[in-house]
Amino acid sequence: QVQLVESGGGLVQPGGSLRLSCAASGIIFSGYAMGWYRQSPGKQRQLVATITSGGSTNYADSAKGRFTISRDNAKNSVYLQMNSLKPEDTAVYYCTQYRSTGNYWGQGTQVTVSS
């Protein structure tokens, strides 16, 4: 059974940090690109960051300089380190594995940035 399970979300004050994790099971992990997306109420899901199987990364403008995506193929996991968080970063964060036949998605983890 394919599973992508996100964790690490929560409530944090502006300027704080969180590290999101996504653990994959039931799928081949190392050979595929992974990504993080987020969705706020009333808005479309938007890309945050991606990482290729080789470790090349790409970031949305809103994430550049503050977020870092990484992966550990030995642990079948992808991470998103988020620093200098802002209230506008509040959203449900999803991890995904890119597949030509259609991405796999996790169930999401809530991140709330508020004082």
Tens of pLDDT, residues 15-74? 999 999 999 998 889 899 999 999 999 999 999 999 999 999 999 999 999 999 999 999
Within 8 A by CB and 6+ apart from 10, the residues are: 18, 110, 111, 112
pLDDT at 1 over 90: no
Residue 62, judged by CB atoms within 10 A of its CB (0-12, 13-18, 19+), counts as middle
CA–CA separation, 39 and 73 (whole Å) = 26
CA–CA separation, 6 and 92 (whole Å) = 10
* 41: DSSP letter: T
